[in-house]
A and B are shown apart, each in its own frame.
Chain A
Amino acid sequence: MRTVNYVLCGLGGQGILFMTKIFAMTALNKGYNILGAETHGMAQRGGSVVSHLRIGKARSSLIRAGAADFLLSMDESEAYRYLPYLKKGGKLFTNAPSDKFPDERVAAYLEKQDIEPRAMEASKTAMDLGSPRSTNLAMVAFFSAFGFGPLNADDLRATVDNMSPGPFKETNLKIFDTCYETGRKMVNKLNIFD
């Protein structure tokens, strides 16, 4: 298998490391090799947090600009900040109102690069379902609905199930299922036009 590159980003406190762990643990259970790169120390106090995750036989942990297959961002501004990492034809997922994303100033670039932006209000959904800090798994679920990459929605959901502590399990899975559905609707809508 070719190395598959994920760039995950957002703001300090949104749980980027937990999000990374959901993907990593799922990949580990599937028997894949994984390499990741994290932000620590003073850089962590900075607010903008990014995590690289590579599934496959890579030796180096950082993904180079223009080589990421997927960019998942928990914040609209951070999605733009890390956009250069996404390859031509890469997939972009953001926590933002879908009718306002993307900024018109990047639309032409996305089109040229054959990057289709996909957005949902993940943090709003997480908050409405009772867990404002679960934007991370909301984004994982939304992404999983499109079936991209070697990790499928069932496996990712099972990891969320395993990793959620007892009192949060039900809410977390509810958020996962809701956001997965939002994603599925988007996929189905596209299919109609195909």
Chain B
Amino acid sequence: MKEEFLLGNGAIALGLLEAGCQIMTSYPGTPSSEILPEVVRFSKAANLNTSIEWSINEKVAFDNAFAAAISGKRAACCMKMVGLNVAADSFMSAAYIGNIGGLVIISCDDPGPHSSQTEQDSRLMARLGKVPVFDPTNPEEAREMIKAAFDLSEEFQVPVMVRPAIRVCHARQNIKYDKLESNLTKADFKREPTRWASTPKFRFMQHKALNEKHLKISVKFDSFAPFNMHTLEKGKSYPFGVVTGGVPSSVIQDMFEDYGRDDIPVLKLCAPYPFPEKLADEFMAACDKVLVIEETDTVIEYMLRDKRKTLGRLSGHVPMEGELVPEKIEGVLNKALSDCGLSPLSDHDCGQEAFELTGGLELPIRKPTLCPGCPHRASFYSIRKAMPKAIYPSDIGCYTLGINLGVVDTVLDMGAGITMGSGFWNAYIQDDVKKPIVATMGDSTFFHSGTTGLMNAVYNDSRFVLVILDNHITAMTGMQPAITQDKRVDGQKGNSISLETIVKGCGVEYLKVVDPYDTKAMIKMVKNAAEYAYGENGGIAVIIARHACVLGFMDQAIVEKIPVKVTDDCDECGFCHKRFECPALYVDVENKKTEINQTLCAQCGVCLNICPQGAIVRA
């Protein structure tokens, strides 16, 4: 027996392997990114034969797992919740068709949002795709749920979703575990075209069969402790009860224990769909009013039928957006209890006075920023210098932070750097305006969903400059290898893909490669690219700005260390802070002078070329 202080994502990984998951696919995205590397770690330590891959995107990950599951193996794919949007096409069909070996989809939600574009609730996607869903409260429960999810998936031949929220993924808990063993089930795909390749007529029948499965699962979920359960005492009625699930349910349980409130019954629904109707009815019948506290949307609240009894988001008691952090839940409970004429949990102001006090201290605003030495900073600086009047559609990754340098105008979703580039071109050219546009996209994002947009732009004769920021890695989510490198996640050799070949294969005629650390060369190159793009026989012009990530590749990224200093020629114009925004460049509070923080400085030397006064020099 071993014990570890495991990350929630590690507990999920452990659960996957304990459940005998044989095939594991994923695309990184906060808060899901650590699951797959943890599967690799556990799998290697126990010498299991698990097949593990970083897929090129979430749809690819889903399909690979699905094929394994209909071959009889246990398979899982995991992603962040917006990644499930990318896999949605497959996801929506999967429950109709069903599976043989267990298929578990792990879609990690980010209420807050802390590191995402939306606060979407994956349980709603589960409902749309008619996929049963589990909603764990903490790492230990997530681990147990993964096993239950596989069992349910095999029992009913339907994919099952587990949606841990960020406070499960990035919580840590002490977890004990035994020796892991390989699942030796062999692939055995049995041809059955009416099922696996069903036409609409058969899809209708599959839909009907799926609905019947759901009725059965709903009944199963009625008595599905400890995931679904209530704390009612038989025959007793209550003025007020709480319906909850997922992370908030653990917060509420802890809080009721702290305040000694065993007079308030709780209905915990951590397997909320298909909805356990009988269990919910029983709870509703025993309570005069119920307050629904769930993250992030109104899944349970909509499914409770008696709206007159129900308090929650629809009644204005629970905020419609943002993470339900414990002090917020305490405030919600206090208000709802008072509204029902009952004594609140506490007379505590939930930190309000202190938050107001500290809010008034004008504490430093620490906005996210690119690392010192980051090659993206150099690229953004050059782009802005070369084409200051352009529209800058960009994309999702570390380089979204180019917004700080004024070189990111739009961020919609993965791939939209390119598709919005062509969209802007179309919108302006209709008015006979050749609008300058420089789109930016990282290498991983380009492979994830850039190529279709690029082919579309070439085919439809859009004109813009595309800069692909190639740092050889998926940096924001924790340094997952890019497919331009030949190393796979488990250390095996991969067949690397050439970015140049793909760009040319998309029909692009103009392609240049530059090291963005050479800002002079890059500025010139962007200008030339624009001349081509907007010229008589132009087209899409692509520049690959290639330089390794300074965090991911440490020593290789900065070959020649160049210490720098600021001379007295500095006239405090602020240009370097505004257009270069390196964390190592700061204004000293006492002498009001721009200085270099030598501890932070990566010694990349890029800033030597940016000061209008030439005041940044080699030290």
Contact = CB atoms under 8 A, between A and B. Distances in A.
Given A45-B369, A106-B361, A24 B172 contact: yes
B476 A64 contact: no
A58 B254 contact: yes
Interface stretch (A31-39, A136-144, A149-157, A175-183): A31-39
Contacts of A25: 5
B149 to A, nearest CB: 20
A117 B137 CA distance: 35
Contact of B138 (A61, A64, A106): A61
A41 B33 CA distance: 9
Interface in B173-196: 173-174
B3 interface: yes
A40 B357 contact: no
23 contacts: A34-B172, A35-B173, A39-B170, A41-B114, A42-B114, A42-B115, A43-B114, A45-B368, A45-B369, A58-B254, A59-B137, A59-B138, A59-B250, A61-B138, A62-B251, A65-B326, A65-B350, A65-B354, A66-B354, A83-B357, A105-B360, A106-B358, A106-B361
A65 B351 contact: yes
Given A60-B251, A65-B351, A132-B599, A37 B170 contact: yes
Interface in A33-87: 33-43, 45-48, 58-67, 77, 80-81, 83-85
A24 B175 CA distance: 12
Contact of B167 (A45, A62, A83, A84): A62
Nearest to A103: B361
A20 B401 CA distance: 28
Contact of B351 (A36, A80, A84, A106): A84
Contacts of B34: 40
A24 B173 CA distance: 9
B334 interface: no
A28 interface: yes
A84 B360 CA distance: 13
Counting from the closest, the 9 A-B pairs by CB-CB distance are A65-B351, A41-B30, A64-B326, A41-B115, A47-B366, A84-B354, A61-B171, A65-B327, A84-B351
Interface size class of B (residues with CB under 8 A): 35 or more
B364 interface: yes
A1 B215 CA distance: 44
A58 B167 CA distance: 14
Contacts of A60: 137-138, 167, 247, 250-251, 253-254, 326
A109 interface: yes
Interface in A90-142: 103, 105-106, 109, 132
Contacts of A20: 172
A174 interface: no
A109 to B, nearest CB: 6
B114 A80 contact: no
A83 B5 contact: no
A64 B255 contact: yes
A65 B346 CA distance: 13
A45 B401 contact: yes
A34 B139 CA distance: 11
Contacts of B348: 66
Given A25-B5, A109-B357, A35 B171 contact: yes
Contact of B354 (A47, A63, A67, A83): A83
A105 B115 CA distance: 33
Contact of A85 (B114, B330, B351, B599): B351
A85 B171 CA distance: 18
Contact of A36 (B171, B254, B327): B171
B609 interface: no
A123 to B, nearest CB: 11
Nearest to A35: B173
A184 interface: no
Contacts, number: 146
B197 to A, nearest CB: 39
B476 A59 contact: no
Nearest to B167: A61
A84 B355 contact: yes
Contact of A80 (B7, B353, B361): B361
Specify which of A24, A34, A40, A105 lies most central, judged by the most chain B CB atoms within 10 Å of its CB. A40
Contact of A77 (B115, B363, B401): B363
Interface in B342-377: 348-351, 353-355, 357-358, 360-361, 363-364, 366-369, 371
Contact of B172 (A32, A61, A109): A61
Given A42-B476, A65-B350, A36 B326 contact: no
Given A38-B171, A64-B255, A106-B361, 12 more contacts: A24-B174, A35-B173, A40-B34, A41-B30, A42-B476, A45-B401, A60-B250, A61-B138, A64-B325, A64-B350, A67-B326, A103-B361
Interface in B362-418: 363-364, 366-369, 371, 398, 401
Interface in A9-41: 11, 20-21, 24-25, 28, 32-41
B368 A36 contact: no
Contact of A66 (B250, B253, B351): B351
Contacts of A64: 251, 255, 325-327, 329-330, 350-351
Contacts of B255: 64
A187 to B, nearest CB: 27
Residue from B174, B258, B361 having most chain A Cβ neighbours under 10 A:
B174
A28 B174 contact: yes
B477 interface: yes
Given A41-B114, A48-B366, A81 B31 contact: no
Nearest to B326: A64
Nearest to B361: A80
Contacts of A36: 5, 171-173
Query: Which of A38, A48, A61, A77: most chain B CB closer than 10 A?
Result: A61
B137 A41 contact: no
A11 to B, nearest CB: 8
A43 B31 CA distance: 11
Contact of A65 (B137, B355, B398): B355
A27 to B, nearest CB: 8
A24 B358 CA distance: 29
Nearest to B29: A41
A3 B348 CA distance: 19
A164 to B, nearest CB: 18
A58 B492 CA distance: 41
Contacts of A66: 327, 348-351, 354
A46 B369 CA distance: 7
A84 B34 CA distance: 30
Contact of A41 (B253, B358, B361, B477): B477
Contacts of B7: 38
Contact of A28 (B5, B349, B477): B5
B173 A34 contact: yes
B358 A83 contact: yes
B442 to A, nearest CB: 14
Contact of B5 (A21, A62, A132): A21
Contacts of A38: 7, 170-172
Interface string B4-32: 01010000000000000000000000110
Given A37-B171, A40-B30, A105 B357 contact: yes
